[in-house]
Amino acid sequence: MIYTTHYYVNGFRWSGDRISAINWTDAEYQASIKGLHVTGKLIQEIPCDDNGDNIQWDNAIDYNEIENN
């Protein structure tokens, strides 16, 4: 599995452009440099082979989507 954390900027809580950051503070810093605002956080679990190949984007689990249902 690959785990990714992205932060939404200049959108709604669960939509908009994304940036990759290590935490919320880093996301706000990166966004402020670009004149953007952080509006949400997306965490995904993406299936893949043990060596990181064969990434299955279509089978990614979006934890924020699960929390909102």
How does pLDDT run along the chain (69 residues), one tens digit per residue? Answer: 666 677 788 876 667 788 888 888 898 999 999 999 888 888 777 888 877 788 887 887 877 655 553
Which range of residues forms the domain containing residue 21?
2-68
Whether the pTM exceeds 0.85: the reply is no
Number of domains in the chain: 1
d(Cα 48, Cα 69) in Å, to the nearest integer? 25
pLDDT for res 69: 39
pLDDT for res 29: 93
Q: Which residues contact 28 (CB under 8 A, 6 or more apart)?
A: 38
pLDDT for res 13: 66
